[in-house]
Amino acid sequence: MNVKVAGRAQGAPQPGEEIPELVKHPTTRQLVQYAGAQGDFYEIHYDQAYAQSVALPGVILHGLLKAAFLGQLVTDWLGDRGTLKTFEVSYRGIDVPGRPYRCRGRVTKVEGEQVELEVWGEDPDGHRTTVGSAIVEMRARRAPNAGGAR
């Protein structure tokens, strides 16, 4: 049975609802693999000595890799219930391999089938190093055929 609550099916996303977090454990090897796949061979992503020579603590994660992690957070939560329509992020800090990168998010607005999300990536100290937003369009839920197949 599909129960309606305030015009939406029960179980539909609600403002304030947290998205199940996704924790990534990036490695320097992964950064090298990502650099090869994406074509971003800037030395700050794989050469420790170079990264330190430009005042970084060591190699750092690619911004687009962090965006991909956050995109995975959204699509893992969404599954086949809908479609990701828009996604954007802004980089606010650096993240390094060997330290967990925690992806989190929450529903900020629900309007019909459209759901707006706030997403962010955190370092192990809880600092938001990447922030962003996404809009997804949920597929309309169909109530089971109470009369059986015809």
Does the model's pTM come out above 0.75? yes
Which two tokens mark 140? Answer: 């309309």
* 95: pLDDT strictly greater than 50: yes
Split at pLDDT 50, 70, 90, the class of 140 is confident
Tokens 């606010």 belong to residue = 92
Within the chain, strands assigned E span 4-5, 8-9, 18-24, 82-91, 101-111, 114-122, 128-138
Which two tokens mark 114? Answer: 């459209």
pLDDT digits (tens, 9 = 90+) for 103-132: 999 999 999 999 999 999 999 999 999 999
Query: Strand 114-122 relative to strand 101-111: parallel, antiparallel, unpaired?
Result: antiparallel
* 62: pLDDT strictly greater than 80: yes
Burial class of residue 17, CB neighbours in 10 A (0-12, 13-18, 19+): middle
With vertex at residue 43, the alpha carbon angle to CA 41 and CA 46, rounded to the nearest 5 degrees, is 90
Look at residues 128, 124, 125 and name the one whose alpha carbon lies nearest to residue 70.
Answer: 128
Domains (ranges, CATH) in the chain? 14-26+62-138 (3.10.129.10)
